[in-house]
């Protein structure tokens, strides 16, 4: 079973996160089989810092735009990441060395990752498809690995809570879910995050419609 990690870096804030992101990916105990970065023109210096750590498939995508999330072109990243498992790891997040251990042995379709935000650890919990469909909060973290066939059936939507929508649609098509039962990455908080710049109530209304 192959595992691919992909991310999107649009705008200088997200470009600047890439060396830290790459250092964390390079420290993984179970190395990914393919690493993809979709971007809008990362500088030569930052590319070199990443290349010093990783072999990366760079995809420059300036022409495609998203109405709500111009820096999140995740479908372009996944399209060229031809692996059995996909890990959509945001450029501002830091994956922990053990995170991919056990992914390829997982018999479920989604493996829920736990995360740390600030000083708080959110240990991942196992959920059912019914719980994913009925919970009033997002039951899975955005970086959770999933089997590629789920993306083949349903692409990421142009929504603020695009990962939440993806998990709902995965549950609808019969995905099964498991969890690592631990913390697997560090979720970064900063002023340029989409949730700080867009109307979360309107975005939540779209999720409720789903």
Q: Residue 41's domain spans which residues?
A: 3-94+105-209
> Residue 18 domain-assigned?
yes
Q: How far, CA to CA in Å, does 105 sit from each of 3, 4, 92, 129, 210? A: 11, 15, 27, 20, 31
- Mind listing the pLDDT tens digit for each residue in 59-78? 988 766 555 454 458 899 99
Q: Two tokens at 156?
A: 């990421």
Per the structure, the count of domains in the chain is 1
> Residue 168 domain-assigned?
yes
Between CA 77 and CA 73 the distance in angstroms is 7
> Residue 29 domain-assigned?
yes
151 three-state secondary structure: helix
Sequence-ordered list of residues with C-beta below 8 angstroms from that of 79, at least 6 positions apart, any chain: none
**Full-model pTM:** 0.90
> Residue 136 domain-assigned?
yes
> Residue 7 domain-assigned?
yes
Between CA 164 and CA 174 the distance in angstroms is 16
- Mind listing the pLDDT tens digit for each residue in 145-178? 999 999 999 999 887 788 999 999 999 999 999 9
> Residue 186 domain-assigned?
yes
């Amino acid at each position: 079973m192959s595992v691919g990690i992909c991310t999107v870096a649009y705008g200088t804030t997200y470009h600047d996160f890439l060396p830290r992101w790459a250092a964390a990916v390079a420290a993984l105990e179970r190395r990914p089989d393919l690493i993809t970065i979709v971007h809008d023109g990362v500088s030569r210096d930052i590319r070199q810092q990443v290349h010093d750590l990783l072999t990366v498939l760079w995809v420059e995508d300036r022409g495609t735009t998203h109405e709500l999330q111009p820096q999140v072109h995740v479908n372009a990243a996944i399209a060229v990441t031809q692996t059995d498992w996909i890990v959509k790891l945001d450029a501002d997040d830091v994956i922990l060395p053990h995170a991919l251990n056990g992914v390829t042995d997982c018999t479920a379709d989604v493996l829920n990752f736990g995360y740390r935000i600030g000083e708080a650890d959110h240990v991942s919990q196992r959920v059912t498809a019914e719980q994913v469909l009925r919970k009033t909060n997002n039951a899975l973290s955005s970086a959770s690995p999933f089997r590629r066939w789920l993306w083949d059936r349903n692409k990421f939507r142009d929504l603020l809570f695009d990962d939440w929508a993806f998990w709902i649609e995965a549950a609808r098509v019969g995905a099964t879910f498991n969890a690592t039962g631990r913390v697997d990455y560090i979720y970064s908080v900063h002023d340029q995050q989409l949730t700080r710049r867009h109307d979360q109530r309107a975005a939540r209304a779209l999720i409720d419609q789903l």
